[in-house]
Amino acid sequence: MNYTKQQIMELIKQKEEEEINELIDFTKSNIFTPNEISQLMSEQLYNNGSLLEPAVGTGNLLIHLNFDNYESIDLCDINQEFLNECPNHLKITKFNNDFLKKNFSKKYKNIILNPPYIKIQDLPETYRNYIRETWPILNSGNIDIYYAFLLKCIDLLEEDGIMVAIIPNSYLYTKSALKLRKYLLENQFITQIIDFQSEKVFDSVSTYCCITTFTKQKNETILYIDHMNDSQKTIPYNEISNHEYNIFNKKNSSGKTLGDICTIKGGIATLRDAIFIHEKKLYSEPCWKKITNSIDHKWIIFPYNENGSLICEEDLKKNNPKTYSYLLENKEELLQRDKGKQDKYPSWYCFGRTQALIKSSHEKVIYTPTFVDPNDIRYVSMRPEYHFGCLCIEILDNKYTRGKIIDILEKNKQYIIENSTKRGGGWLNISSRVLKGIPIH
C-alpha cells in the first residue's frame, strides 16, 4: 500500500501517542517530591539565569523558588494533566513532551529534577532501543530510565551551571550503574551527595534515595553527607578506586582483593522456598537434605544428584513417592516462577536457578547471611552444607586461615555497609560482588 506524506505523518503521530500513553502507564507518575526535599534541593540552585525542570509533575520542586529571579523557566512533562496543575508565570514555558525525545535549542544555568524510575525491562521495546541507541554507555545491562535523564540533563547544563537531582542511591554502588558512574566520576561532575541511606523519602515506595548535585566544572572533591547518621566527609577524586568507580572505595595499592584469595558464592535459589524448604522433613525420603542459612538448619526437597544434575521425573517419583505427590499438588504454583516463562527450565520441579547445587568439598567454610542488620553481621565457620539466604566463602590461598578471613571481613564492616544495597529498617542486602571487592592490604 502506498501512503501519502500526510498519512505517514499521521501514523507517526499515532505511534508516538501510543508510546507516550504506554510510558505514562509505566511511570510512577503520582509519586511527587516531599516539601522538605524540595527545599533542600532548591537551596543549591542559583537565584538567576535560566532553569529547567524536565519531569515536573505537578510542580513540587518549584514551590521554594522565586520565579521573578530567573530569566526563563522551562517545564517539561509527558502528562498534560500534571502540567495543567503547575503554576503559571510570565517566565514559565510549559512543554507537553517526552523529555528524552524533545530537541532543545539552548542550555540551562539551573536544572532541578526528580526523574521517573523505570527499569529498562519494563519499558516498551521500541523505547528501550531508543535509549540504547541514543546513549551508547546505556547500551547494555539492567539500566534505569533515570540514567538517560541524567545524561541528557548534563548535556543541557551550561559550563558554569548547576544541576540537582533526587535519584536512587543504588547508583552509587550497583553493577548496573558502573558505566554511568565511570562517566560521572571520570568527568568529575559530582560535587555533593546527600544520602538518605535506608530512610524512606517517599512514603508510598521503598526506593532509597540521595540528592546529587552536579556541575561541569572539574570538582576536586565530593562532599558526602550521610543524612541518616548526621555525618559528612570529603572524598578526593584522586583517591577513588577506578576498579568499580565507587566513591566509597579508595585506590588499593596492592591491587589484591578478597575475591583473589577466596571463592564467594550465593546460595540455592528455588524461587519458591515455601514449597521446597521446611523446618522439618515432611516425609522420610531420600530427596530431603539438610540446608542452612548460616543461622538455622532446615530441610529442603532436593531433586538433584550430588553432582548437581537433575533427578529424572520417573526416578524422583519412584524413590520419593510422597514428596513427588506433594510437588505435584504444587505444580501450578511452581509453573508461575519467572512470570511463567520457563522455556529454559529442564523440568517443572527443578529450582529456579542452578547455583549452589554442589556442596563445597572444603573441610570447613564460612557462611554469612545476605540480609542483615548492619549492627549484627555474623560469620560462621562450619562444615559445608547446602545453603540458601547466605554466602559461602571458601579459602583458596592456604596462607590465610578462616580466622584471618573473618578478621578481614570484620575490619571492613564499613566498606560492606557503604557498598551494599539498603533495605527497610536500615538492613542490608550483601552480595558476593561486594565481599569479593574488599581490598587486601
Summarize pLDDT for 16-53 with one digit per residue, the tens: 555 555 555 555 445 678 899 999 999 999 999 999 99
Q: pLDDT tier at 316 (50, 70, 90 boundaries)?
A: very high
* pLDDT reported for residue 58: 92
> What DSSP designation does 198 have?
T
Q: Three cell numbers at 406?
A: 573473618
How would DSSP label each residue in 417-437?
Answer: HHHSEE-GGG-EE--HHHHHT
* pLDDT reported for residue 275: 98
Q: Over the stretch 393-427, which tens digit does the pLDDT of each residue have?
A: 999 999 999 999 999 999 999 999 988 988 878 89
Q: Over the stretch 85-106, which tens digit does the pLDDT of each residue have?
A: 999 999 999 999 999 999 999 9
Alpha-carbon dihedral sign for residues 84, 87, 88, 92: negative
What gap in Å lies between CA 303 and CA 335, rounded to an integer? 16
Q: pLDDT tier at 242 (50, 70, 90 boundaries)?
A: confident
What gap in Å lies between CA 198 and CA 209, rounded to an integer? 8
Closest among 117, 97, 114 to 53, alpha carbons compared: 114
> What DSSP designation does 67 have?
G
Question: What mean pLDDT, rounded, does the chain reach?
Answer: 91
Q: Which residues contact 224 (CB under 8 A, 6 or more apart)?
A: 192, 193, 195, 232, 233, 234, 235, 247
* pLDDT reported for residue 22: 55
* pLDDT reported for residue 6: 55
| CATH topology assigned to domain 252-267+355-441 | Adenine-n6-DNA-methyltransferase TaqI; Chain A, domain 2 (3.90.220)
Instruction: In the chain, list all ranges with CATH 3.40.50.150.
Output: 5-250
Instruction: Please state, in angstroms and as integers, the Cα–Cα distance from residue 136 to each residue in 124, 179, 302, 315, 409, following that order.
Output: 18, 10, 44, 50, 37
Q: Which residues contact 309 (CB under 8 A, 6 or more apart)?
A: none
| CATH topology assigned to domain 5-250 | Rossmann fold (3.40.50)
At position 119, the amino acid (one-letter code) is K
Alpha-carbon dihedral sign for residues 324, 330, 335, 338: negative
Q: Over the stretch 146-198, which tens digit does the pLDDT of each residue have?
A: 999 999 999 999 999 999 999 999 999 999 999 999 999 999 999 999 999 88
Closest among 295, 285, 268, 265 to 386, alpha carbons compared: 268
* Cβ pair 149, 113 in contact under 8 A: yes
Among 5-14, 113-122, 282-291, which range has the highest average pLDDT? 282-291
Instruction: Please state, in angstroms and as integers, the Cα–Cα distance from residue 151 to each residue in 146, 301, 350, following that order.
Output: 9, 48, 42
